[in-house]
Structure 1
C-alpha cells in the first residue's frame, strides 16, 4: 500500500512539474470544444397531445369492427406525414419565407419530415405530435415560434383529414360503384333478353325451370304422374259405368194424382241443399241441378216417363258423375298428349342441333355470373353508403386536443450547460494526460530507488532541491499566475453557461 502511495506521489509530482503544459493543453482543448458547442444550433421542440376516439355505438352493428377503426386511425396518422400535407405545413407557417422554387420547397419538406414525430401512447387513443425546429440560419425565437406553428398546423390538418377524408372516400367509392352497377345492369339486361329469346325458341313449351335436360326430365316426370292419375281415373270411370249399367233409368211410381212429381221432389231437395248454405259449386248441388234440368227436358212436370214410372234419381246422379269422370279422363289424355308432343319436338331439336344444350348452359352461366356480380355491387354500395353515413353523422373519429402545442422557452438540444462543463472536464483531462505522457517519456528518475533498480548499483544518497529566498518568491509568483490561469478557465466556463441562460431567457 505504501509503495502504491509513493507511485501516486511520483506521478502527481511529474504532472505538477509540467503543470504549465497541462494548463496550455487544457485551454486549447476547452476553447476548441466551446467553439464547437457554440456552433451547434439550438433545437426547439413543441409538443401537442390529442385524443382520438375510434369507437361508435353503431359501428359494430354495420360491420365496422374496432380493428378496422384502428386501421383507419393508423392510416390517417401515416398520411399526415405525406408530401402533400407537409407542403401545406410549409406554406402555412414561417417556413414559407425564403422559398424561391420547387427545389427549396422539396428541401424544406425533406427537413420537416425528419423533424416531425407522430407517436401513439400506451393508450392508442392518445397521440403525441412533436415538432422540432433547429435552423441555424434563424434566431432562437424564430425556431421556437416555427416549432409551435408546425405542431398547430399538424393538428389543423389532422382535423381537416378527419372531417373530409371519410366523406371524400365514400363519395368516390359510391361514384365508382354506381358506374359499375350501371354497366353490369346493361349487361344483365342483355343476358336476360338473350336467355328469354332462347327459352322462347327452344324450351318455352316445356314445364319447370333450368336447363333443357332438367326441363325434359320434369316433362317426363309429369307424364309419369299423369299416367298414374289416368289409370285411377279410368278405373273410376269403369266402376261408374258398371254401376250405371245396373241402375234402372226409372222407378215405378204413382201417377199425377197419386203424389208429387219427380221434378217437384228434385226441386224441393235442391232448395233444401241451398237452404243449408251449400253453394252452386258443391258437387251434390251440381248433381241435383243436372237432375232437375234433365227432368225439365223430359217434361218432368207430369207424373213420370215410360210405362207409368218416374225418373230414377240415383240413375241421374250416377249419370252426372260418369260425365265428370269421363271429362277428367279426357283432360288427362289431352295433357299427356301435349307434353309428349313437346317432348318429342325438343328431342328432335336436340338431335338436329346438338349445340342447343351447350348454348343454354353458356347463357345460364353468363347470366348467373352477371347476376351475382350485380347483387354483390348493390350490397357493397349499400354497405359503403351506410358506413359513410355512420362515420360522418355519428363522428366515428372523435377528435379532441388534450394539450395544445407548447411554446418552447428552452432548447431541447443541445444541453449546452452540460456540454460546456463536459468540455471543461475533457480539457483538464487532456492537459493532465499530456503532462503525464511527457513525464513518462523523459529519461529521468524521480526517486533514488528507481535509479538503483535501473542501474543495478547501490545509490549512496540523494540531494533534494534547495531554493534561496529569491527563487522561493519567483515560485510563489508563478503559483499565483497558475492559479489565476486555472481560475480563468473555470470562470470562462461559468461565463459561457450564464450567457446560455441569458439567451434562453431572451428567446
Structure 2
C-alpha cells in the first residue's frame, strides 16, 4: 500500500513538473477539436405521426393468421410501402433534393441517402412516427411531407402495374435460373458417372484404394490357406493305398505280413515327418524300410498285391479335387482383386485434378441453387407485396401530427463534444508528460536514490530559495493559472456562441472559407408556392387531416376507405 501511495505521488510530481507540457498539449487538442466541433454541420429532424390500420394489410392474406399482427409485421408493412425504391425516387423528385437535370446515378444515390436517414418507429398499436434527418431543416420537412404524400397518394393501379412488371421479370429470371441450374446438375452428374472410380460415392479415392488392397490381401491369405490344405490332402493321398491288398481277401485274414508291415511303416513315417525334419535319422531309416518293403511287394506275385478298392483313398481323392478347385477359384479372385487395385492405383495422378473439378462443379451448382431459391423467394415476396398493394386502397389512414419545420438542430451535441475534447486533451497531455517523466525520471526522494544504487543515504540537503526564486515561482504559477483560465474562458465563450445565433453566423462565415458547404436553400417541394417577387417558400399546410371522399377517385384508387370526419 505504501508503495502504491509513493508511486502515485511520484506520478503527481511528474505531472506537476511537466504542467506546461500538459497545458500546451491540452491547448493544441482543444483548439483543433473545438474548431472541428464548431464547424460540424447541424442536423435537423422533421417528423410526422400517423395512424394506419395495418390489420387489413396483414391478417386477411394468409389463412389462419391471427387478426392482430405483431408490431414487427406492422412496421414491415409501413416500411415496404414507404421505403420502396420507386417511392424513394418519387420522394427525391417531389422534395427537390436534386436539380431537375440530375443524372440517374445521382438520383439513386440521393434515394439511398433518404432511405438511410429515414426512420419508421412503431409507437402504439397502428400509430407510427416517420422521421427524417438532414442538414437543412427545409429539406427535412420537404422530404417528410413527400414521404407522407407518396404513402397516401400512391394509387393501387399504378402500383399493381409495377408489381406485375416486376413479377414478369422475376418469372423470366426464375426460368433462366432453373435452366442454368439443370445444366449445372447435368454436368455434375455426368462428371461423377465418368469418374466414378476416382470421385464417386461418399468415400475418398485413397480410402477406396486401401479397401481394394485389403481385399486383395484377404484373398491372398485365403489362397495360402487353401494351398496348404491341398498339399496336405495330396500328401495323405499319396500315402494311402488304392486297394486294401490280397491279405484282406476272404474274410480279411492277412496272407502276406509284408503288406501289414508296409502300412504300419507308412503311418510311422507320416508321424515322423510331422515331428522331425527329412534329415532326421529316424525319418531316413523309416524311409529305407518303406522303400525295401515296397520293392519286395513289387517283386511279389500280382495275386498277392491285388485286392479290393480302398474307400479311404477314394474319399481323399474327392477332397483333393475339391481343394484344387478351391485353389483355382481363389487364384482367379486374387487376380481380379489385384487388377482392380492396380487399375485404381494407376489413376492416382489424375485424382487431384478430378477432385478439383468436382469441387468446382459442386460449388457452381450450389451457387446456382441458392440464386434460384432467392429468386423464387423474391417472386413470392413480390406477389405478397402485390396483394398488400391491393389492400392499401382500403387502408384506414389519419395524420395525427403533420410535418413540422424544425427550429433547432437535433445533432450534434456540441456541448458534450467540447467537454469530451477537453477531457481528451487533458488525458493526452498527462499521458505524454508521464511517459516523458518515466523516461527522464530524476531522483526526487532518498528512497528512489537508494533503490537505484543500493547505497545507504546519510542525509539530504534542502534547497535554499532566494527571494528572486520565490518571485519567479509565483510568476510562473500566475502565468500557468492565466493560461488555464484562458482555456476555460474560451470554452465559456464557445458555449455562449453555441447557445446564441452568433454561432450559426460564425459557421456560415467560416465554413465557405475552409471549403465546406453551407445550408442549402429551401427546395422546390410539392408544397412550394411562388410569391410575388418570384422567390419560392416552402408552405406545409397541415389543415384537416382527413382526406375528402373524392380524392381516392381522383387518384385512380377504387374502393378506397378513409374516415369520414375528425382531425389527427
**TM-score with structure 2 length normalisation?**
0.44
Higher Cα Rg: structure 1 or 2? 1
**TM-score with structure 1 length normalisation?**
0.49
